[in-house]
């Protein structure tokens, strides 16, 4: 019977189903911890383990899904392009802010990883974890890290950013909506941005600009910190 | 047909990005080069937003879906993650605080400097 599942279609159908359930639960519960990606991942892992289906069988289909990662990254250009008027209105603060955020993120990841004795492969998988997932995976692959670990870490930092966004502004005495938005987008990509959109229009727009900008800065700077 | 051409175009830009990445003397992810190429095409008006709109919106609104396989790959590293899970949480929390503080304070600082500069020029 298992033979019938030995086709790329199995992985694709399973992923779509799991994602559909994840989105549904997320809509019902409306809490950042009910993350659709996390739910879908868990469901698939449980199913594979429970029915003793080899991961290779799932990955036949998943290879086709991950083929879309490159075009997903490419169309991120559209998110910058659509916000170009807003970006130009405060170009210098936003550019330097996301640059500073990327440097601080890379530096603190390298420093704490060293302090906690994490090895190089784990460090390579964590370096990019503040930026949007497609770019983070590209950086991890470049340094020979484990993409699965990167995905888990980007979900963790995105969820933390989402939960803590209002608290962070109070903690660091930030009242300027532009500064708050850039801060959220730089450290917690799209998951944080959904919270920024709830806080306010300026916060949301600035946060979504910061996603792609900090991704670009991190690609450029990561080699300096890793080598 | 429209969507087929859009997807073909997007994959074409991605292949171009990978080609450039292979030729570059330093390592730089091909997908990020494709993104910069796309931004250049849009800003230079060689490509209109409407040329790729439907496919781009499909990819952007369902972005999370495409990460699921990488997430499931975690199954292969269960032992590793079990051994470093609290370190991962600490690294995540520390870098979140550092990144937020650095980026938001820089925005505040630069905005104030710009105001100061403007006032001085007007005085």
pLDDT by residue (tens digit) across B5-33?
A: 999 999 999 999 999 999 988 878 888 89
Q: Give the confidence band of B93 by pLDDT, cuts at 50, 70, 90.
A: very high
pLDDT at A208: 86
Give the whole-number percent of chain A exceeding pLDDT 90. 47
Q: Looking at residue B99, what is its pLDDT?
A: 95
Query: Predicted confidence band at A1 (pLDDT cuts at 50, 70, 90)?
Result: low
pLDDT, mean of residues A169-188: 92
Mean pLDDT of A12-41: 90
Q: How far is CA A76 from the centre of its chain?
A: 13
Provide long-range contacts, Cβ within 8 A and 24+ apart, for A44-53. Answer: A44/A14, A44/A15, A44/A18, A44/B68, A44/B72, A45/B72, A45/B74, A45/B75, A47/A14, A48/B72, A48/B75, A49/B75, A53/A2, A53/A5
Longest CA pairwise span in chain B (Å) = 65
Structure confidence at residue A111 (pLDDT): 94
Whether pLDDT at B34 is above 90: yes
Q: How far is B123 from chain A (nearest CA, A)?
A: 23
- Collect all residues of chain B within an 8 Å Cβ-Cβ radius of residue A163: none
Q: Is B74 in contact with A41 (Cβ distance < 8 A)? A: yes
The mean per-residue pLDDT over the stretch A210-225 comes to 91
DSSP class per residue in B21-36: HHHSSS---HHHHHHH
Q: In this model, does residue B46 exceed pLDDT 90?
A: yes
- Percent pLDDT > 90 in chain B is 66
Stretch A37-57: mean pLDDT? 91
- Supply the pLDDT for residue A184: 93
Least confident of A7-16, A25-34, B98-107: A25-34
Average pLDDT for residues B111-121, to the nearest whole number?
92
- Identify the band that residue A109 occupies on the pLDDT scale cut at 50, 70 and 90: very high
Q: At what angle do helices B78-122 and A147-171 cross, to 10 degrees?
A: 40
Q: Could A105 and B95 be called an inter-chain contact, meaning their C-beta atoms sit closer than 8 Å?
A: yes
Cα separation of A137 and A125, whole Å?
Answer: 8
Partner B contacted by A208 (CB < 8 A)? no
d(CA A35, CA A200): 22
The mean per-residue pLDDT over the stretch A157-165 comes to: 87
A197 shares contact with chain B (CB less than 8 Å): no
Q: Is the ipTM of this complex over 0.85?
A: yes
Q: Predicted confidence band at A101 (pLDDT cuts at 50, 70, 90)?
A: very high
Mean pLDDT computed over A77-88: 87
Task: For B53-84, write each residue's pLDDT tens digit.
Answer: 999 999 988 888 988 888 888 888 888 888 88
Over 80: is that where the pLDDT of A37 sits? yes
Query: Residue B40 has what pLDDT?
Result: 95
Q: Which of A39-43, A134-138, B75-79 is the least confident region?
A: B75-79
B103 in A contact zone (CB under 8 Å): yes
User: Has residue B43 got a pLDDT over 90?
Assistant: yes
Residue A176 per-residue DSSP state: -
* Chain A residue closest in CA terms to B21: A142
| pLDDT tier at A83, thresholds 50, 70, 90 | confident
Q: How many residues does chain A have?
A: 227
Instruction: Label residue A107 by pLDDT band (50, 70, 90).
Output: very high
Q: Which chain B residues are Cβ-neighbours of A70 within 8 angstroms?
A: 11, 14, 17-18, 30-31, 34
* Class of residue A150 by CB neighbours under 10 A (exposed 0-12, middle 13-18, buried 19+): buried
Q: Where are the domains of chain A?
A: 2-67, 89-226
Q: How confident is the model at residue A33 (pLDDT cuts 50, 70, 90)?
A: confident
Q: Where are the alpha helices (DSSP H) in B1-123?
A: 2-23, 30-43, 49-61, 68-72, 78-122
Q: Tell me the pTM.
A: 0.87
Is B31–A81 a contact, with Cβ atoms under 8 angstroms apart?
Answer: no
């Amino acid at each position: 019977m298992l033979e019938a599942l030995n086709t790329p279609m199995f992985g694709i159908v399973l992923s779509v189903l799991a994602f559909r359930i994840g989105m549904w639960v997320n809509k019902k519960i409306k809490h950042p911890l009910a993350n659709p990606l996390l739910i879908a991942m868990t469901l698939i892992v449980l199913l594979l383990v429970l029915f003793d289906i080899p991961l290779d069988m799932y990955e036949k289909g998943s290879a086709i899904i991950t083929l879309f990662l490159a075009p997903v990254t490419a169309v991120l250009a559209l998110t910058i392009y659509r916000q170009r008027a807003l970006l130009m209105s405060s170009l210098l603060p936003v550019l330097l802010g996301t640059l500073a955020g990327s440097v601080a993120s890379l530096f603190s990841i390298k420093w704490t990883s060293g302090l906690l004795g994490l090895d190089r492969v784990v460090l390579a998988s964590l370096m990019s974890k503040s930026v949007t997932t497609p770019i983070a995976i590209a950086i991890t692959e470049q340094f020979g890290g484990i993409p699965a670990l990167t995905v888990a870490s980007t979900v963790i930092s995105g969820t933390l950013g989402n939960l803590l966004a209002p608290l962070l502004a109070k903690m660091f005495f930030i009242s300027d909506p532009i500064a708050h938005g850039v801060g959220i987008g730089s450290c917690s990509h799209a998951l944080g941005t959904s919270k920024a959109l709830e806080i306010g229009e300026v916060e949301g727009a600035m946060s979504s600009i910061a996603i792609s900008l900090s991704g670009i800065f991190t690609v450029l700077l990561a080699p300096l910190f890793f080598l | 047909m429209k969507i087929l051409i859009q997807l073909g175009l997007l994959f074409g830009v991605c292949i171009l990005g990978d080609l450039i990445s292979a030729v570059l003397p330093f390592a730089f992810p091909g997908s990020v080069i494709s993104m910069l190429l796309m931004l250049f095409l849009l800003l230079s008006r060689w490509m209109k937003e409407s040329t790729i709109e439907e496919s781009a919106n499909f990819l952007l609104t369902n972005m999370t879906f495409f990460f699921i396989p990488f997430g499931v790959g975690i199954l292969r590293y269960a032992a590793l993650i079990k051994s470093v899970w609290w370190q991962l949480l600490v690294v995540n929390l520390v870098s979140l605080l550092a990144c937020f503080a650095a980026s938001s304070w820089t925005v505040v600082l630069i905005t104030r400097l710009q105001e100061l500069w403007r006032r001085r020029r007007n005085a």
